[in-house]
Structure 1
Amino acid sequence: MFLLEFLFCRTGFVIACIGSAVGMEIFNDANRPVYVAVDENDSVMGYAFCIKKKQPFSTNMVPFDSLFIDDLCVDQNIRGKHVGQKIFEHVKEEAKKMGCYEVTLNVWEGNDTARRFYEKMGMVPKETQMEFILK
């Protein structure tokens, strides 16, 4: 397995997936790295779209950089083969190189499979966001 940054330079996968000029802006932004795992045939196995953010948003805390995983996905046909783990480990290493203090992400309530995966990767809950639906 190979991990590539900005796969669109090598194949058309990400361009086809995003399909718009607006989406292509992501690939020109150093604060929005994309990591893609491909096999020896350049078939996409999984990817992580990330965003480097300044934290916290409050002025009463010391600022730091954080790498937010906006989306991490593995081809459902190869799940269980540690591709997600390798992508996650790669994201952590890249975050360290960027000088980030932490890696964060959101998990939808009820997505127990993803939550277990991230906990296995060493992540812990940081905060809970709640909502009240207005009808």
Structure 2
Amino acid sequence: MEFRKANKNDVYSIVRLLADDELGSQRERFEEPLPAAYIEAFNEIELQGGNQIILAVENEKVIGCLQLTIIPGLARQGMKRAQIEAVRVDRNYRGKKIGEKLFKEAIIIAKSKECGMVQLTTDKQRGDAHRFYEKLGFSASHEGMKLIL
């Protein structure tokens, strides 16, 4: 298995992963052809400095992904944060520590960008994910809120 930054040719595989769970199947549109909104969003990610999708790849197949965004800020004495979103591992590869390895790769990148913190949000319905993140050392120190527009 290797890790690499996603490119435009990976968008179909990423959306497949995003749609392949209970919540994602309700939120995503994994169809052929993919809706143009996914390609447009990926193009915006690539244009924004400090924003990337990291892939876990085995035998040229995308088996895991996460989005990593570096956020500069003034709070905490100008500390940069790394935000992790859209974490997915192919259902056929779960339980093989791929998610853990993806996170370690993201944390290495965050440290190389001089981030002082890695943060994430997770849906309250994802109990397994909560346990996974806690096992990696994350703590539920804040209450997250969202406003859907």
Task: Find the aligned partners of 2:95 and 2:125 in 1 and give their Cα distance.
Answer: 20
State the TM-score, normalizing by the size of structure 1: 0.81
Contact persistence 1:5–1:35 (CA under 8 A): yes
8 Å contact kept, 2:81–2:115: yes
Identity rate of aligned residues, in percent? 26
Which AA in structure 1 matches 2:67? Answer: F
TM, length-normalised to structure 2: 0.74
- Counterpart for residue 6 of structure 2: 6
User: What is residue 89 of structure 1 aligned with on the other side?
Assistant: 104
Aligned to 1:101, what secondary structure does the other structure show? Answer: strand
Q: Following superposition of structure 1 onto structure 2, how do residues 1-135 of structure 1 map, counting pairs within 5 Å?
A: 1-8=1-8, 12-14=9-11, 17=15, 19-39=38-58, 41-55=59-73, 61-129=76-144
Deviation at 1:86, TM superposition (A): 0.4
Alignment root-mean-square deviation, CA: 2.0
Q: Unpaired segments of 5 or more residues in structure 1?
A: none
Larger radius of gyration: 1
1:70-104 deviations in whole A, cap 9, x for unaligned?
21111111100010000000000000000000110
Residues 1:3 and 1:127: Cα distance change in structure 2 (over 3 Å):
same
Shift of 1:15: 5.8
- Count of equivalent residues: 124
Amino acid aligned to 1:23? F
Please identify runs of 4+ aligned residues in structure 1 that moved more than 4 A: none
SS at match of 1:19: helix
